[in-house]
A and B are shown apart, each in its own frame.
Chain A
């Protein structure tokens, strides 16, 4: 199966720029009659860190969830790492193997230990031998600074620790892209920092990251680009300096004044 994928990858990738890891072209999505995403166009280069912000209900989570097919788009194209997302389950699985996702509510598996959470994907999806998967998992757990919790269950950890396990779990799959869906929104203030620190370290390794977040400090220090969404549309997209100091759009100005106002 790997060979077939490699073939389709090269054929599509040659058509597009080799640098673009994610390409979203004219993508629309509806929930029933409700038009949630309108004509989304986005290109993400390898190694780029992108922060997506916007008021709640603006479609930012929905957009990144379309990238690994947790949500289905109805019109337009999404090409991830040279593979187009269609109804073909093989294509979807191929993309999901390469795209890691971190959720607002962690979504760790409560019946498995931290270590088992981390090795499940590599063992069952990548067919990694168990010992090797465990070694890699311990390595990533060290990177997120909780190797001593490996034998515990998620329910025994704090929220910040759980989210760091979730990040380690995604990294164990060796993804090319990491999606973060409001990773700090369900955390207590003192735990937000430890998760953001982990994310900053990850960004420094050159990982391609798409991050839905309200942490504007993180956006300023880490992001290559900030995208502002409202009403299902991308309103504005710019480098962080420009975005924060010189927003172009009225909606952006209003949003920034609301979240930075105090």
Chain B
């Protein structure tokens, strides 16, 4: 030992930095990449795989890609990579479906307003949150008016909805309405009132026991048998109802898990103060239960959003349906990679956004909770 170990009187030992090699980049590399021979081996293999996989993808998607061409053959003459010209050509129908071209500003407007309406709902530190909330509450009606028309706007039938816009309409409506409905069902399932409880249980178990596709078929065909003859009941509306009910069944179970994690003492403290049932739920129990349930709730929402592609089966042309039918175009034959990659990117952005938001929310709510 070259260093002389210095001694200090009891209680006088100063704080010291860790020894060399125990901090900074070297420490990070050693603990994370080369901590044992297995880890070293896996690091090497991973680097090799990345080297083999990433450059070809980059070549195909960017370096050898074609942005401008009139058809597939022209694309292939220019380069062997992705033919994004196809997507460019089809972009507006992928986004708007068959929505009349002159009226597409209404869809854009509805989307911009949706983003604005989401801000006060998602973030509690924005200015003008209270008036913003009123706007958010009014948004569904504004969006309905913009998309469907009437009252001065040219009416557009829901059969003209399609593409990403249709996925967004179904997804956002399902998410917005299934959360409150799911919470009510979860509370109903915990209720001491036997009728409320058994109705909630039956509903949840039925929904969870049946595939979504079945419900969508019921929506598209069988509902007509139950309704008085001659009633026309919009197909999209039926789909919206079915998707919402389906998601709410799952949300209910996720929220129930959160409710069960709340200690009995919280209910007792709320009761002993004289809070009424709805007050103690809203102020004490649900804020805590929903916080615990955030990962599960967002998981359900992500699933719901991706399941909106199932409307294809009952004949609504969502982005996947339009993409598939575009492949049949003789001019652009065989470019399925481009179409599916584009659709995948659309869904990934939406779902990844939800996932990041849920992590942000969890971190925010965790603040102060912990010691």
Contact = CB atoms under 8 A, between A and B. Distances in A.
B192 interface: no
B314 to A, nearest CB: 43
Given A121-B275, A155-B368, A173-B274, A103 B265 contact: yes
A70 interface: yes
A153 B284 CA distance: 14
Contacts of B52: none
Contact of B274 (A108, A113, A121): A121
Given A103-B268, A103-B269, A155-B370, A96 B274 contact: yes
Nearest to A68: B272
B291 interface: yes
Contacts of A103: 265, 268-269
A70 B272 contact: yes
A97 interface: yes
Interface of B: 263, 265-266, 268-269, 271-276, 279, 283-284, 287-288, 291, 365, 368-371
A111 B287 contact: yes
Given A100-B272, A109-B288, A125-B279, 15 more contacts: A68-B271, A69-B271, A93-B274, A96-B271, A96-B272, A96-B274, A97-B274, A107-B263, A107-B266, A109-B266, A110-B369, A111-B369, A125-B273, A153-B368, A156-B368
A111 B273 CA distance: 17
A152 B367 CA distance: 11
Q: Interface size for chain A: under 10, 10 to 19, 20 to 34, or 35 or more residues?
A: 20 to 34
Nearest to A117: B269
A107 B283 CA distance: 14
A152 B368 CA distance: 7
Given A156-B368, A156-B371, A107 B265 contact: yes
11 contacts: A96-B272, A97-B274, A101-B268, A107-B263, A111-B288, A124-B283, A125-B279, A155-B369, A156-B371, A173-B273, A173-B274
A17 B288 CA distance: 44
Interface of B: prevailing SS: helix
Contacts of B291: 111
Contacts of B273: 96, 120-121, 125, 173
Closest 6 CB pairs of A and B: A107-B269, A96-B274, A107-B265, A153-B368, A101-B272, A121-B273
A109 B275 contact: no
Contact of A107 (B268, B368, B371): B268
A173 B269 CA distance: 13
A93 to B, nearest CB: 5
Contacts of B275: 120-121, 124-125
Contacts of A153: 368-369
Contacts of B365: 111
Contacts of A137: none
Contact of B272 (A99, A105, A111): A99
Contacts of B279: 124-125
Interface string A116-150: 00001100110000000000000000000000000
B295 to A, nearest CB: 17
A216 to B, nearest CB: 26
Nearest to B365: A111
A103 B263 CA distance: 13
Contacts of A99: 272
